[in-house]
Structure 1
Amino acid sequence: MSPAAFEFATATRIVFGPGRLAEAPELVRALGGQRVLLVTGKTPARASALRESLEALGLAVTGFRVEGEPTVDLVRQGLGLLAQARCDVVVAMGGGSALDAGKALAALATQGGDPLDYLEVIGRGQPLTRASLPFVAIPTTAGTGSEVTRNAVLGSKEAQVKASLRGPKLLPAVALVDPDLLIGAPASVLAASGMDALSQLIEPFLSARANPLTDALAREGLRRSARSLRRAVLEGPDAGGREDLALASLFGGLCLANSGLGAVHGFAAPVGGMFDAPHGAVCAALLSAVLDVNLRALRARAPEHPSLPRFRELAVLLTGRAEAREEDALSWVEALRADLRIPGLATYGLTPARLPELVTKARAASSMKANPLTLTDAELAEIATRSL
């Protein structure tokens, strides 16, 4: 491998630990704003205590609910509300959808123009040049790592695809990760979000852009996910399990933001745009096929590629067995998917007739650029077919 040369960017401040949600109001006030846009998921009541605490400090709070995965139109609505209420700080508390919406609103509020001016793939892709409004991200699920990433994924109903706003201006001022917020999370949410986090540790570890710092985070995150995800979903997460899942998600976000992803997320973006499909479950359905096809492609076309020996290390990390071989990683992931009852993509409406369209869109996705090597159309079609 070439000598290490990399850049690492993340949130200005990361606050982690059980019970630390109580610190959020003072952290928000320290950012200097007076009027807060509080972005939540479809159940704003989960943030009611936070809202009351912010108001007790004399801050005006305007709520904005994100019921599903954010779209360009939803962000336009949010920008109108933000301007009307003259908000000068944004706080998002919820899953990845709420956090991505909050990031987009905080960044676009100061840029001017329309979201499509800055959205990649389906927009004009202009850079975000002005400082964002101060933004605090508080995840309530353990999957996307959105609290430390420099992109916000938005769907477009017209284009039937998801695309990203991207750039360092999207990084939060504060990422507050409290594992106790996972208490009471449904098993289905833990499963889908946990598999998303797992894929966001695996893909950067195998990425063409992997670096020593993200490698260290990925290795630790993979150990924690491997030992806790199955048990947390099937039995309910204890304090140690909640910590493992929250750290795996956080580390996955740090990894993907600095080393990129791969074909799993290259497919997940268009699948999410074409169908009403939860992102984490889509990643889970794709993961084992992507690993298998990548492993075969590397062996056949790039046997000296530095990502190839990492498949064996991945197997060791996932299984906990020093003698594990590359294929053991694939078997472990597929067994986990079965245990967690993650369905195939046909569940969401994908049919063989639409596979060519999906392959075309996936090939153009930004995440594909960090895949260990460029996959052929036949290989992409195999992944899609096997994930149905």
Structure 2
Amino acid sequence: MSFNFSFATASQILFGNHSLEKVPGIVAKMGKNILLVTGRNTEKAQQLSARFPSETKVSLFQIESEPTLQVIKAGTKMAQSNNCDVVIGLGGGSVIDGAKAIAALATNKGDLMDYLEVIGKGEALTEAPLPSIAIPTTAGTGAEVTKNSVIKSLEHNVKVSLRSDLMYPNVAVIDPVLTYSMSPELTASTGVDALTHLLETFVSNQANPFVDMICREGLYCISRSLLRAYKNGSEKKAREDMAMASMLGGMALANVKLGAIHGFAGPMGGMFPIPHGAICAGLMAAVIQINIEVLTEQGKDIEKFKELAKILTGSDLAKAEDAIVWADNLIEALQIPGLSKCGLLEDDFPELIKKAKVASSMKGNPVELNDEQLRWMLEKSF
């Protein structure tokens, strides 16, 4: 664990039930020409638009699925053509990621590929993005407090990041009430994503005491509330816990690299139409298990995994391996379909392993895993 670290997040965080009502006042200090990025369902966006004064111009841009290169370019063109001076992302992680990317590309010259990791040139942004506000309507990605946008390349069949310290939203507005309308299935999928962010950053080889503190609180929130939110979507405390956990997970992953679960998630999500949360769910137990086994074989410390198990199970007597059982039981209770039911075949394993090994997230895994160990993970998850 490093005692030398830095930490960054959104410039301002506004958390609380009905905090959406404060957005018009925040926007008034930022600009009067808004690009409002939203998802397939525009109901919440229309309600927010109605709150703005008549002199405020609102241009609506929809991201109906995952943001692709083509979608980001179209949104950027709209922002520039309409001379927008503020970008608001109101929706799930894909919407907020799209809004952050559009805000960045609107002020920076060149093509999106110039700035993308892995498949692009990976150049640094030189200009500050348009002022942005991130308002999540799900509890999972934590995108409202991160500095990257996950973008899908249809040409390369992979998801990659546009990443910059300049891309943190100016304001993150987290209103748990907005998550009440999530279905049980979406609650489960996004909740597991938040859990994975917290879990992987907690055991990351880049872990530090400050992020550990954040992860512990987030893991406690999820361990007591994810199943409750899944079973009763209107339970106030459970929804608040999950919104908090999602935000804390975003803070953690913005400052510490993740691990093998997300190392596979980018390539797998690019190659197959599998929900991100389902990928995380499918891989979670196997990744915990292989990391514990390899660390033990190498005579390295597994205290973080012991602490993880104690937090998740609520038992001070828990052993590291109990985290594996807990994860398996959770995924079963949430009824998230396995990877074998999502179109993934064993013939795809070599390509997945090849792509995962060069993924940015894989660099944070607590121990380096070889091809054989990575394949075992896939087989175990399959």
One-letter amino acid of the counterpart of residue 212, structure 2: D
One-letter amino acid of the counterpart of residue 178, structure 2: L
Distance 2:150 2:180 in 1: 26
Alignment-derived partner of residue 344 in structure 2: 350
Distance 1:19 1:57 in 2: 22
Distance 1:339 1:25 in 2: 40
One-letter amino acid of the counterpart of residue 363, structure 1: K
Alignment-derived partner of residue 219 in structure 2: 222
CA contact (8 A) 1:119 1:164 kept: yes
Compared with structure 1, are the counterparts of its residues 237 and 229 closer, same or farther at alpha carbon in structure 2 (3 Å cutoff)?
A: farther
Structure 1 vs Structure 2: percent identity of aligned residues?
47
Aligned-pair CA distance for 1:278? 1.1
Distance 1:222 1:92 in 2: 26
CA contact (8 A) 1:40 1:64 kept: yes
Which structure 2 residue ranges, 5 or more long, are not aligned?
Answer: none
Alignment-derived partner of residue 371 in structure 2: 377
SS state at 2:4 partner: coil
Aligned-pair CA distance for 1:326? 0.6
Describe the superposition over 1:266-324 as per-residue Cα deviations: whole angstroms up to 9, x where unpaired.
000001100111111211111111111111111112x234xx21100000000100100
Aligned-pair CA distance for 1:235? 3.0
User: Aligned match of 2:79 in 59, 77, 82?
Assistant: 82
Distance 1:364 1:271 in 2: 13
Alignment-derived partner of residue 12 in structure 1: 11
Aligned-pair CA distance for 1:114? 1.0
CA contact (8 A) 1:108 1:132 kept: yes
1:52 aligns with 2:46: no
Distance 2:61 2:16 in 1: 26
Once structures 1 and 2 are overlaid, which stretch shifts more, 228-237 or 129-138?
228-237
SS state at 2:70 partner: helix
CA contact (8 A) 1:107 1:132 kept: yes
The equivalences for 1:147-186 within 5 A come to 147-186=144-183
One-letter amino acid of the counterpart of residue 250, structure 2: G
Q: CA RMSD in A?
A: 1.0
Aligned-pair CA distance for 1:48? 1.1
User: Aligned match of 1:325 in 307, 310, 319?
Assistant: 319
The equivalences for 1:1-388 within 5 A come to 1=1, 4-31=3-30, 33-54=31-52, 56=53, 58-301=55-298, 303-305=299-301, 308-388=302-382
Aligned-pair CA distance for 1:347? 2.2
One-letter amino acid of the counterpart of residue 123, structure 2: Q
Aligned-pair CA distance for 1:30? 1.2
SS state at 1:169 partner: helix
One-letter amino acid of the counterpart of residue 205, structure 1: F
Which structure 1 residue ranges, 5 or more long, are not aligned?
Answer: none
After TM superposition, which residue ranges in structure 1, 4 or more long, deviate above 3 angstroms?
none
One-letter amino acid of the counterpart of residue 36, structure 2: L
Describe the superposition over 1:90-116 as per-residue Cα deviations: whole angstroms up to 9, x where unpaired.
000000000000000001111111111
One-letter amino acid of the counterpart of residue 163, structure 2: R
CA contact (8 A) 2:221 2:245 kept: yes
One-letter amino acid of the counterpart of residue 9, structure 1: A
Compared with structure 1, are the counterparts of its residues 237 and 292 closer, same or farther at alpha carbon in structure 2 (3 Å cutoff)?
A: farther
SS state at 1:243 partner: helix
Distance 2:320 2:62 in 1: 44
Aligned-pair CA distance for 1:249? 0.2
One-letter amino acid of the counterpart of residue 371, structure 1: N
CA contact (8 A) 1:231 1:237 kept: no
Aligned-pair CA distance for 1:383? 1.1
TM-score (norm 1): 0.97
